[in-house]
Structure 1
Amino acid sequence: MNTNKTLIKKLNDQGTLAHDELYQLLTAMDDSDAQYLYQLARVKREAVYGKDVYLRGLIEFSNYCKNDCRYCGIRASNDRAERYRLSAQEIIDCANTGYDLGFRTVVLQSGEDLSFSDDDICAIVSAIKAHHPDLAITLSIGEKEKESYQKYFEAGAERYLLRQETSNPDHYAYLHPASLSLAHRKQCLEDLKEIGYQVGCGIMVGSPHQTFDHIIEDLYYMKDFNPQMVGIGPFIAHKDTPFRNEPNGTLEDTLHLLGIIRLMLPHVLLPATTALGTIDPLGREKGILAGANVVMPNLSPRSVRRKYMLYDGKICTGEEAAKCHACMERRIAKTGYQVVPSRGDYR
Structure 2
Amino acid sequence: MSTERIRKIINNKDFTKENLSYLISLEGDERDYFLKQVGNTYTESLGKKVYFRGLVEFSNFCTKDCYYCGIRKSNTHSERYDIDNKAIVDAAIFAHENKYGSLVLQSGERSDKAFTVRITSLLKKIKEATNGELGITISLGEQSEETYRDWFEAGAHRYLLRIESSNQDLYYKIHPKDEKHNFETRIKCLKTLQKIGYQTGTGVMIGLPFQSYNDLADDLLFFKNTNIDMVGMGPFIEHTETPLYEHKDALWSLQRRFDVSLNMIATLRILMPDINMAAATALQAIDPMGREKALRYGANVIMPNITPTANRKDYTLYENKPCTDEGADDCANCLSIRVEMAGREIGYNEWGDSKHFFKRQEKK
Q: Which band: TM-score by shorter chain? A: over 0.9
- Structure 2 counterpart of 1:134: 133
Aligned-residue offset at 1:92: 0.8
1:61 aligns to what?
A: 58
Contact 1:10-1:17 within 8 A present in 2 as well = no
Number of the residue aligned with 1:144: 143
Cα distance in structure 2, aligned partners of 1:288 and 1:11: 22
Closer/same/farther in 2, CA of residues 33 and 64 from structure 1, 3 Å limit: same
Whether 1:89 aligns to 2:97 is: no
Structure 1 residues 186 and 114, CA gap change in structure 2 (3 angstroms): closer
Taking the aligned partners of 2:71 and 2:303, their CA distance within structure 1 comes to 20
Q: How many residues align?
A: 344
SS in 1 for 2:277: coil
Asked if the contact 2:138–2:160 (Cα under 8 Å) also holds between the matched residues in 1, the reply is yes
Structure 2: gaps spanning 5 or more residues: 356-364
1:12 aligns with 2:31: no
Distance 1:157 1:44, change over 3 A: farther
**Counterpart in the other structure of 1:193:** 194
In the superposition, the TM-score normalised over structure 1's length comes to 0.95
For 1:234 and 1:98, locate their aligned partners in 2 and report how far apart those are by CA, in whole Å. 27
Counterpart pick for 2:33 among 36, 43, 56? 36
Aligned-pair CA distance for 1:25: 2.7
Q: How does 1:133-172 map to 2 (within 5 A)?
A: 133-172=132-171
Aligned partner of residue 276 in structure 2, secondary structure: coil
State the superposition RMSD in angstroms.
Answer: 1.6
Q: Does the CA contact (< 8 Å) of 1:270 and 1:294 recur in 2?
A: yes
Match of 2:74 in 1: 77
Unpaired segments ≥5 residues, structure 1: none
Partners of 2:24 and 2:267 within 8 A in 1: no
Please say if 1:284 is aligned against 2:282: no
Q: Structure 2 CA distance, aligned partners of 1:40 and 1:144?
A: 40
- Structure 2 residue aligned with 1:118, among 100, 116, 119? 116
Partner of residue 270, structure 1: 277
TM-score (norm 2): 0.90
Whole-angstrom CA distance in 1 between matches of 2:122 and 2:98: 20
**What is the deviation of 1:226?**
2.0
Distance 2:154 2:4 in 1: 48
SS at match of 2:318: coil
| Paired residues of 1:15 and 1:265 also in contact (CA < 8 A) | no
- Residue identity opposite 1:17 in structure 2: F
Q: Counterparts of 1:252 and 1:122 in 2: how far apart (Å)? A: 40
Query: Structure 2: how far apart are the matches of 1:40 and 1:242?
Result: 39
Q: Distance in 2 between matches of 1:56 and 1:11?
A: 33
Corresponding position of 1:242: 243
Contact 2:206–2:261 (CA under 8 A) maintained in structure 1? yes
Deviation at 1:20, TM superposition (A): 2.4
